[in-house]
Structure 1
Amino acid sequence: MSASSPFDPRQAEAGRTPTLAVLVGIFMVSVTPFVAGLVQGQTEGWGRDLLYAVATAALLFNVWRGSVWAWRLTVGMCMLAGLVIFVVGMLAGSVAWQGWIVSGAGLVFLLLGTALVGTAVIRAFLDSRWEARQRAMRRKA
């Protein structure tokens, strides 16, 4: 692990399950509108939505593999999407109660993105993955 990391390398293995849970949670919240639309019989734009789901899975898989750029992009998108979804849900909540559910989804995005940054065992696990990936890349060169 790099010397600049404030996270304890002994916590890395304990972070495997929470990291997987957060990444799966992000994926599930991302694809829920698509799946809900399919269940309701709304098939318009399913190709685009399927492409988004595959791209999201690829991005989260790269986070799991130890890509720092994928982690940064995921955290940034969770924060931006969470904030936008929360505000849109609050505005819709003034008209219909379903807007509060949308606001809840925005909060879930914000919480999951924050967990990738602020949970010590998750960061320790990701730091260990980043270090292993850097070592592998150095060996190839």
Structure 2
Amino acid sequence: MPSPAASPFDPRLAESGRLPTLVVLVGLFMVTVTPFVAGLVQGQTADLGRNLLYAAATAALLWSVWRGSVWAWRLTVGMCMVAGLVVFVVGLLVGSVNWQGWVVSGAGLVYLLLGTALVGTAAIRAFLDSRWEMRGQQLRRRP
């Protein structure tokens, strides 16, 4: 893991990255659980347990990113890219016969944009770098 001195991101941006990071993580959670909530609103409760498990697992993963886990960040970014691409392509295929496919493609683009924001926004990366450093110090202090 690179040291904070080797980071290309300005540590002075760390505090200003708190809110954008929170917005991106909440946005990822919202995009992920929207189909589940929409199904509930329509009265579809067939896969309730599985969907609640997925929502809880998503929340746990995003909470780990917020707390400063590098592996959770890498997993989140990777899943955003893969899911975003797959959802986008599936939406395009469905969109050729049904207008809802374009909504699905939009969700894929949102995944791609939010995942890219976790990697490419300087303030978010500075905030996450500071969290990673704090977490690393806490882990080194444990006996």
Equivalent residue number for residue 60 of structure 1: 62
- Find the aligned partners of 1:68 and 1:19 in 2 and give their Cα distance: 14
Instruction: Give the Å deviation of 1:17.
Output: 0.1
Residue among 77, 80, 88 paired with 2:79: 77
- Find the aligned partners of 1:57 and 1:112 in 2 and give their Cα distance: 16
Equivalent residue number for residue 25 of structure 2: 23
- Find the aligned partners of 1:136 and 1:67 in 2 and give their Cα distance: 12
Write the deviation string for residues 69-113 of structure 1: whole angstroms up to 9, x where unpaired: 000000000000000000000000000011000000000000000
Residue among 88, 98, 101 paired with 1:99: 101
Instruction: Give the Å deviation of 1:2.
Output: 1.6
TM-score normalised to structure 1 length? 0.99
Is 2:1 the counterpart of 1:2? no
Structure 2 gap segments, 5+ residues each: none
Q: Which runs of 4+ in 1 moved over 6 A?
A: none
Count of aligned positions = 141
Equivalent residue number for residue 120 of structure 1: 122
Instruction: Give the Å deviation of 1:4.
Output: 1.7
Structure 1 gap segments, 5+ residues each: none
